[in-house]
Structure 1
Amino acid sequence: MKDIKIESTLTIYEDYNELPKNVALLMDQAIEIRLKAYAPYSKFLVGAAILLDNGEVITGNNQENASYPSGLCAERTAIYYAGANYPEAKIVMMALTAGSQKQPTTSPIPPCGACRQSISEYEVKQDLPIEIYFMGVSGKVVKSNSLANLLPLGFDRSFL
């Protein structure tokens, strides 16, 4: 028997104003689309903006449903649209923002497990890391250089 240690390295920006200009512009689009999310049940709005290597920016937000499992997260809404409409394009960067309408959201909110798995599929497929920036409504912004950094020991097609 032996133990292994798995580490992740994240970059923390103290707030939105510290972001590089190109990241701030992408985050602006995530913030804008977050405000249009359909979340009448949870009151938790999420926005995602994806930059593709062809220069296109794809946005998505969470879409809830009275039958809870039928809704879809912002990250998957955007990434599936990108995959359907730009199947040859690679995802360079994602900006994510999430916030509650019931209480202040100042902590960075990472993608949920299902979204991490979906993003991982694209990262493996394109064989190129996807930079991911995530934040709440305000406060610190976290950067991960890849999805693999957020989902070590991920499940992918190599197991099938």
Structure 2
Amino acid sequence: MFDVADYRRALGGFATGVCVVTAKTPGGAYGITVNSFTSVSLKPPLVLWCLDDRSDRYQAFAEAERYAIHVLPVEDRDMSDRFAWGACRLTDEEFESDVPEPPRLRNALVRLDCRAYSRTTMGDHLVIVGEVMGFEHRTGAALTYYRGKYGVAESLT
């Protein structure tokens, strides 16, 4: 018999970065925390992330034509928790409101502005591939997630 809980614990043995995806929705500027993010291609520049089909934000993000992916710095752990389990609407102080969509978080280490490229249902998730239309990055320690706990990734050089 396949033990789903044990399988989830096994997958937790892979350390990931922590990202918040933001999009402008009919309900306002929304955010959702994800750790299922990866680069797909350099030419064209494609990235992907996965959206749980049980998410209360599923429709908003599944239908978003533009969104931004933000790699969080270690000091934004509270933001990660909030967009994972709490309120999903961004406050005016959290994002740049003077730019066109998608909403841009102010403190991200990396921001990738994306346009939806493809969507594919796989199991209980929607795999969303985005074409990167623009990006920004800065140095700093990144928030990570490993075995159900937060951590930090810093450059050794």
Give TM class, smaller chain. Answer: under 0.3
Larger relative strand fraction: 2
> What TM-score do the two structures reach when normalised by structure 1?
0.27
